[in-house]
Structure 1
């Protein structure tokens, strides 16, 4: 390789160029993006089961005598089996929040892979929100925000740890009794 007396290097980098009139939207790895989390989920499930089985055998034997009196012998067996089961499950969940995440990478199709977490400590209670997923660039608003309902393959976790969360957990002996079906 030769040393050149005057080498020119362009200050213009095409992959990072953004005109002054362009929106300030996340578009490359390392850019920040605000996710507006509005998740509301509910599910209800119920089941009813009913089954019955009945079987019977009956026999009757009568013996007659000359005196007009009859002696009878009776016998019978009866079987009965019934099952009646009912179940109901109902669950609701709601998460509202705002979290700013980073673009981890730009996928081959132009979508943005995002990930981020937020940790908040208040009165010995730690709240952690974590989100990962994929966002289409056209879903990012002019304010550089996207709704969580527009995040594909979203994995959102909201976990609390501290005094309140500890009080809501059942004691070890209660969990053991539940495990044994008591």
Structure 2
């Protein structure tokens, strides 16, 4: 009987091994989901902070110079920052929106004069995440109204978020692509 008992204790049964494998799989999937949520929240927080920093730069420029940057003509959009993606579809031209298109989208090169003016009050401009939220939209960009002295800073967030982050207002939402959130500055 002792010999039979010793043989039985030498290894694990298949049921015990399968139980351990299932438990490890469950723990791994919980960890991956938790990590993904943490990463999404961190990305969102960084984007919102960059938007707020851009708003501070524009306000500083307006306070210092008495007006918004004069290179911003009404009704036009400008990329905020540099290093935006390009694609062969856009002729390899960096764009902060619709970078897969040759006819739409906002060109990084159109904002060079604006970036240079903003550097006169903030030599180190805010850094942005240049991650595309969907296949073509990156952000951030700024718009100056042609009828008012309003500046709108917009960035793009994943469609999975239920609302725009604190400090921003929803501009547009498409359940399949993205959520556009903005900070509006009145001059």
Q: Quick check: which one's strand share is greater?
A: 1
Instruction: State the TM-score, normalized to the length of structure 2.
Output: 0.21
Q: Quick check: which one's helix share is greater?
A: 2
Instruction: State the TM-score, normalized to the length of structure 1.
Output: 0.22
